[in-house]
Amino acid sequence: MPPVSLTINGRSHGPIEVREGLSMNDFLREVLGMTGTKFGCGAAQCLSCAVIVDHADGTSSTTPTCIAPATDFDTLVIRTVEGHATNGELTPLQKSFVAHFAFQCGYCTPGFLNEGQVLLERLERAPIPRADLERTIAEALDGHLCRCSGYVKYHQAVRDVVLADPKRFLT
């Protein structure tokens, strides 16, 4: 039973002994009781289980949790849907999702939120031309499945966060 230590939403967890082979998704949902991260397909095909990994170089990426052992997350710093709002304030992307009625059943929302947030932070580091915005959002979100919304409002919600503060995200 290898021990796992990691930082989730700014809080240290572990060392916690986990069974070899336990998925990160089950570690979050069954061991820690953090069910904001969803289980949808078990094969990284819907990405409703994706969380954010913050890398040492200051960049971040999303990663599905259903197809990787918890042990692969040892020492990592991650963020989940439960950790976006801080100090009683929703993030601009969360507010935009709410204002746009981006989701319906909401089961895919944690994945879209994490992916959209990583994209926004990436654009902040490396702004893109306005003309590339729609394509960039489409590429970023395309791994995520949604069965209710037809995706339109998710894309609009991400775009509107960028367009509300173009100096920050666009060249």
Partner 1 sequence: MLFDRRLATILPATALAGLLAAAGIALSAPAETLAPPDAFVAIADPAQRSAAYFGELSKVLTHPRCTNCHPATDRPRQGNSARLHQPPVTRGADGFGTASLRCGTCHHGANYEPAGVPGHPEWHLAPAEMAWEGKSPAEICIQIKDPSRNGGRSLADLVAHIGDDTLVGWAWHPGGARVPAPGSQQEAKALVKAWVESGAACPQ
Partner 2 sequence: MRPSRRDFVTWVAASGIMLAMSRIGPVRAAGFEASQTLPGTAASRLPGATAGRIDALAKVTGAKLYASDFRAADMEGWPETTAHALLLRAADATHVFTGLDLSALDAGARPAQVVTAQDLERAGVRVPPFYAGDLLCPAGKTPLYLGQPLALLLFETFDAYDRARAILREKNPARFGAETGPVAQPNYAALRFTRVAGETPDKPDVYSPLIEGWISPGVFEPGGRPVWQPLPTSEGGQYKKGALHGEAIRAFIAASAPDMLVLDRQFRTQSVDPMFLEPEGGLAWYDPRAKALRMVLGVQSPLEASEELAHLLGEAAAGFRPERIESHFAHVGGGFGGRDHTPFPFYVALAAMFLPGRPIRLAHDRLQQFQGGIKRHAFDMHTQVAFDRATGRMRAFAADHVLDGGGLANYSASVAAVSATSAIGIYDIPKVDVTTLAEHTRGVTAGSMRGYGVLQTTTALETLVDEAAQALSLDPITLRRRNLLKAGGLTMTGNPWTVSIRTPEILDKLEGHALWRGRAAARKAAPAGTLVGTGVAVCAKDYGTGADCSLGRVEVDPKGRIRIFCDAVEMGNGIGTAVANRVAGLLGRRADEVSVARIDAFDELGLVTSGDPYTLTQTEQDEAARNPRWVPAISSATSASIGAHVGTQAAAEAARLIFRFGLWPAALSLWGIAQDDPRRFLWQEAFWFDGALILSGLPPLKQEKVAARAHEMGGLTGAMAHAFSRWAWAQAAFPLDGFEWVVDLDALAVRRGGGAFKVLDRSFIAFPPASYNRIGTSFTSSCGTLVKVEIQKASGAVRVSQAYSVLECGEVLTPEVVVGQAQGGFAMGLGYALLETLPPFEDGPGNGRWTLGDYVVARGSDLPIHALEVEVLPRVAPNEPPKGMAEVVMIPVVPAILNAIHDATGHRFRALPVTPDDVRRVL
User: Does residue number 108 form part of the binding site for partner 1 (CB under 8 A)?
Assistant: no
User: Does residue number 118 form part of the binding site for partner 1 (CB under 8 A)?
Assistant: yes
User: Does residue number 25 form part of the binding site for partner 2 (CB under 8 A)?
Assistant: no
Nearest-CA neighbor of 48 among 68, 21, 66, 74? Answer: 66
What residue type is assigned to position 116 of the chain?
A: G
User: Does residue number 85 form part of the binding site for partner 2 (CB under 8 A)?
Assistant: yes
Cα separations (Å) of 78 from 60, 84, 141, 152, 166? 9, 11, 19, 28, 27
CA distance 167 to 171: 7
Judged on CB neighbours under 10 Å (0-12, 13-18, 19+), 3 is exposed
Provide the minimum distance between the beta carbon of 164 and partner 1 in the complex, in angstroms, as a whole number.
21
Candidates 4, 24, 40, 162: give the one binding partner 2 (CB under 8 A).
40
Handedness of CA 134, 150, 101, 62 (dihedral sign): negative
Residue whose tokens read 């989701």: 103
Neighbours of 151 (CB within 10 A): 17
For partner 1, the binding residues in 57-76 under the rule CB under 8 A are 61-64, 66-69, 72
Segment near partner 2 (CB under 8 A); pick from 68-76, 120-128, 149-157, 162-170: 149-157
Segment near partner 2 (CB under 8 A); pick from 56-64, 68-76, 117-125, 152-160: 152-160
Which positions lie near partner 1, rule CB under 8 A?
Answer: 21, 23, 42-47, 61-64, 66-69, 72, 115, 118-119, 122, 139-145
Which positions lie near partner 2, rule CB under 8 A?
Answer: 19, 21-22, 26, 30, 33-43, 45-46, 48, 80-82, 84-85, 88-90, 94-95, 97-101, 103-110, 113, 134, 138, 141-142, 144-155
